[in-house]
Structure 1
């Protein structure tokens, strides 16, 4: 049985779900970090939000720790590299609040464009100013996203109905999709009317939006930040607002926040730049609540439960620290051709392939004697199924546990393409190798082909 310590409060779904799996859950929401370090060796798992940092000292004290689960999108409060060295699974839940974050970003920019906060306050004070509150429309503008992971993808999906051009810049290649075109940073800075940040907390994003960065934009633009406050140098942003290089800002996060995201106003003094922001009509502020909805609280909790189950438990709910097998065989060979029908006929006539609409299925048996299959399929030369790879071929590899493998690959920095798709013949996911080749991963149900 896994013994799990919860050190932050979360939705009851999380504790109930872990206990249903067979975990023994304990709670400690008041002890200091030092006090918890003294007893953490008794536990196999820990569930946190952002109460304190889990550093080398803490990890060294946690001699029996098998996983650290952060009920949130990022892992910045954890020494990720050291935890990985110790073989500790790192679990986060960006899938749980990506929809909430995207709705917040969209709601804030629409509110800013239409002067909703300003007009509401004026009416409440007896002012009826129509011309002073004439808005602007989102339609026809170019929305630039920096960071195209879970949050960026969710926001791009929300923008589909607004007739805008959506472009993104990301340090990983090949992340664009049907909702967003990946471009260089230079092109993003040339085209963007509305800039939205969706970057994790790291060295590259720290103080990324500074004076030099802002001045490289060809047009004045609006800024949305629902990511991390440390990504924006507030003094530089205020200067840009004054000079109208930045036309307005929607800020759910601020660089002045504490690491635990608690009350900003507990600080004795607040910077002058913040004083400007709270008085500016073209700035909307919220207290780090993008992703903080009734629904996301449940989803975040359930996502953690699901990932713990995937990594540690079999279908029979018996604990097994499974050796995560990677590729177990070749599942398919896919290639582009001018005439798939003709090429299938050629292989049928000359090499005896038993072809169908999909190509040809080769049957074989694994080491345990179970029937297994490998698919051979020609595709039309204009197919977009291999995108974002530009190659004329794609390999499909068989895997045992797709969800756990993709989680591991994501933690290792491998580019994940799209979302897992489920069919009667198995689960499918996609990744890119270091040369941009698209790889299809298949957790098969071979019997469905019979």
Structure 2
């Protein structure tokens, strides 16, 4: 979805003049290309969600659709299958939601949401021990490295975004979701004491479905999305500091490991004011791209329907629901009751909000657009506001909250992760297949 919205913004980049917000500067570094690619994988890989750089150029790879964790050498030769689905393998890759987290020293955590476990992997790809996740209800967010910021290790703690507590009711036989909050906590849990606290809050995009029941008992799901939300981003730096990148005025709030809080000044950005005509064009562009995406992926609707059915009622065999539910009998008071069986859901329809609900200034970034490199910099994938070379442009922000350079990532690539010494790992995707490339920052 982010790639689709990025494409829509790029197509309208020249549609409106730039206009600085009050008190901000538009002086920006020139865009420069990423350095040369120095190595490329040859083996067949599925959808790689994240990687972990190790000493000597070795790499742990989380092949999510292949359901395996691989250890590769500096030439991308596979040295070892660390975890997979082979029967009898004690290092099992359980579900399809799992993530690698840089742990103490050069060790790595492999978090598997389905088994509620965390494998501790040493730099040689050997599993040293298995830990349980600190809190079962947070397993999905700990393992969300491929679909969001995921989790990070910092001085004895795991830091991650909290899980939305969306309450669902079944009223007159039809599931109804409650209001979704527009902010979420960034949570920190101590791995020894299991004490949980909140580091800060981030503004998130909201897309809540409306569910209706047809005469034959099926569920129709309509999802309304704002294609240009003003959101916040966050990341944990190698020294353990947590950075909050604010989307409304583009500045960074910092929480240091000792608890000290500080804020950096607003950063320069090419702000673009959106007229009513610009907003209408953007909404129309997103609708067109959604229609094209649905036509090109006919199985997508069925997959979404299955996911919603599972979320609303658990697995077909009656598994536990994946959101907190409260069942209300028809015409009666709220009550208890066990898990609701997965209903039959038609292909969800994605609707776009009216143009009037878009912000007056185009925000600087979308959700899940920020990473920290191995040298203590933040990389923020910015939304284009004026014509730029083909590819994706990242703002590189130092520890003072200053944009020091703007780096162009080649078209068709996304950043998987970073290594020491200015190494960047890129993913080149073709459907569900991934090629990993290692490049230099300069």
TM-score (norm 2): 0.23
Higher relative contact order (CA 8 A, sep 6+): 2
> Quick check: which has more Rg, 1 or 2?
1
TM-score (norm 1): 0.22
Structure richer in strand, relative to its length: 2
Structure richer in helix, relative to its length: 1
